[in-house]
């Protein structure tokens, strides 16, 4: 089984992606270690090279870059370029727009964050996370009138998914800060 796992690109890629996803979600502190984060970034790059047709690995790579960008702001630019390329490949993939909105908001480009988040809602208005992302982008505006709309979007997100079980733990932390 060990040899089969090592030889199977598909299995290896999926298993490695699951491990990276777990650490991004549950232990980002480990990824922030320069040597570990760099190694994970290199390995994910190799997976993306082997699995070029699967954008899930590219999205995971962007999520990794965004975590590492907390220590190196230059990585926001790399992540944004990757996401813009992905919008051409998978223009209906909401997660791409969530991540773009996050980058724009993190860089203080609030209007762009709102615009991208609105695009995610238009793609599928029944998805709670789309309303959450738009609510967060609107909350960044600082405009009292827009703040009301932010609250409405966050309420809509909770109505669509009362348990919030499809949200990342970082999403929940952001919600707590907003409220």
SS (H, E, C) the chain: CHHHHHHCHHHHHHHHHHHHHHHHHHCHHHHCCHHHHHHHHHHHHHHHHHCCCCHHHHHHHHHHHHHHCCCCCHHHHHHHHHHHHHHHHCCCCHHHHHHHHHHHHHCCCHHHHHHHHHHHHHHCCCCHHHHHHHHHHHHCCCCHHHHHHHHHHHHHHHHHCCCCCCCCHHHHHHHHHHC
pTM for this entry: 0.83
Tell me what pLDDT residue 83 has: 96
Query: pLDDT tens, position by position, for the chain (179 residues)?
Result: 234 334 445 567 788 788 888 888 888 888 888 788 788 888 888 888 888 888 999 999 999 999 888 888 899 999 999 999 999 999 999 999 999 999 999 899 999 999 999 999 999 999 999 999 999 999 999 899 998 999 999 999 999 988 877 777 677 666 666 65
Tell me what pLDDT residue 129 has: 92
Tell me what pLDDT residue 52 has: 80
Tell me what pLDDT residue 21 has: 83
């Amino acid at each position: 089984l060990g040899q089969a796992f090592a030889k199977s690109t598909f299995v290896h890629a999926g298993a490695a992606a699951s491990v990276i996803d777990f650490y991004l979600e549950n232990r980002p502190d480990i990824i922030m270690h320069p040597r570990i984060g760099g190694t994970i970034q290199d390995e994910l790059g190799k997976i993306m090279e082997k699995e070029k047709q699967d954008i899930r690995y590219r999205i995971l790579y962007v999520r990794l870059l965004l975590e590492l960008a907390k220590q190196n702001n230059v990585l926001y630019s790399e992540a944004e370029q990757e996401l813009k390329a992905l919008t051409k490949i998978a223009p209906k993939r909401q997660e791409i727009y969530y991540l773009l909105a996050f980058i724009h908001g993190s860089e203080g480009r609030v209007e762009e964050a709102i615009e991208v988040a609105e695009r995610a809602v238009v793609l599928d208005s029944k998805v709670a996370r789309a309303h959450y992302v738009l609510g967060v982008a609107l909350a960044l505006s600082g405009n009292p009138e827009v703040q009301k709309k932010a609250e409405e979007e966050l309420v809509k997100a909770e109505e669509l998914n009362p348990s919030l079980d499809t949200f990342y733990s970082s999403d929940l932390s952001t919600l707590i800060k907003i409220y």
